[in-house]
Amino acid sequence: MKFTKFAAAVLACLAMTLIAQGQEKKMEKKGGAKAPAKMEMPKPGAEVKKLGYFVGSWSMEGEMKENAFGMPAGPFTGDNKCEWFAGGWQVVCHTTSKGAMGASRGIGILAYNGEDKVYTYYGIDSTGYGGLSKGKQDGSTWVYTSDEKMMGKSFHGRYTIDTSSPDSYTFKYETSEDGQKWSTMMEGKSTKAAAAKKS
């Protein structure tokens, strides 16, 4: 008796499946809507691919300026190794640098937020810093802005990158109390490792 009920249930399910398939084929022949296609994984768009400029090994040198935060001024050098994260949506950079305050290490993540149509950068380093910036790209110029706090002082930050050259870029970091008057805190240049070997 149990077997008969089970067999009847299986036959009923099979019949329903065959009927549904038949109806679907009839709709397709009549030009009706097809069954929804299987959803595919999204692929990075043109905005994301622009981040590929930063992929590679870079050597940087620059200067920390006198500033309102009491950080020592002076030259600094460093290396930056950037690579695509799995999936090709973000670029992850590992940085080592040395300057007037000593050596430090950091990690930065470059990405594009398609919902807000804005580039983002999130970074942390061995000095205890952690922060998020939002950026826009116009031709060879990238500008990232942020609202930050350091040593109890709130301020605006602006990081400008000029990528006019395919194998080197200049950068400048500025701060402002009111978002109107800006002071340069740091500036320098990064050169791609392959380009450095050629020169």
Question: Is 29 in the same domain as 57?
Answer: no
Q: Residue 180: which of 152, 155, 161 has the closest Cα?
A: 155
Q: How much helix, strand and coil, in percent to the nearest 5, is found in the chain? A: 20, 50, 30
pLDDT band at 49, cuts 50/70/90?
A: very high
Two structure tokens written together for 83: 């690579």
Question: Is 55 in the same domain as 16?
Answer: no
Q: Decide the pairing of beta strands 183-192 and 74-84.
A: unpaired
Please state the pTM of the whole predicted model. Answer: 0.77
DSSP-based three-state secondary structure for 103: strand
pLDDT at 38: 82
Question: Is 117 in the same domain as 172?
Answer: yes
pLDDT at 5: 45
Q: Residue 176: which of 158, 150, 160 has the closest Cα?
A: 158
Residues 72-89: pLDDT tens digits?
999 999 999 999 999 999
Residues 124-178: pLDDT tens digits?
999 999 999 999 999 999 999 999 988 788 999 999 999 999 999 999 999 999 9
Domain count of the fold of the chain: 2
Alpha helices in 30-100 (DSSP H): 46-49
Question: Is 4 in the same domain as 92?
Answer: no
Residues spanned by the domain of 34: 1-39
Per the CB < 8 A criterion, the answer to whether 134 and 147 are in contact is no
Residues 100-115: pLDDT tens digits?
989 999 999 999 999 9
Question: Is 26 in the same domain as 70?
Answer: no
Question: Is 32 in the same domain as 93?
Answer: no
Question: Is 193 in the same domain as 102?
Answer: yes
Question: Is 9 in the same domain as 94?
Answer: no
Q: What is the mean pLDDT of the chain?
A: 85
Distance CA 73, CA 100 (A): 7
Question: Is 170 in the same domain as 109?
Answer: yes
Question: Is 32 in the same domain as 66?
Answer: no
Question: Is 11 in the same domain as 72?
Answer: no
Question: Is 96 in the same domain as 168?
Answer: yes
User: Cβ–Cβ contacts within 10 Å for residue 69, how many?
Assistant: 12
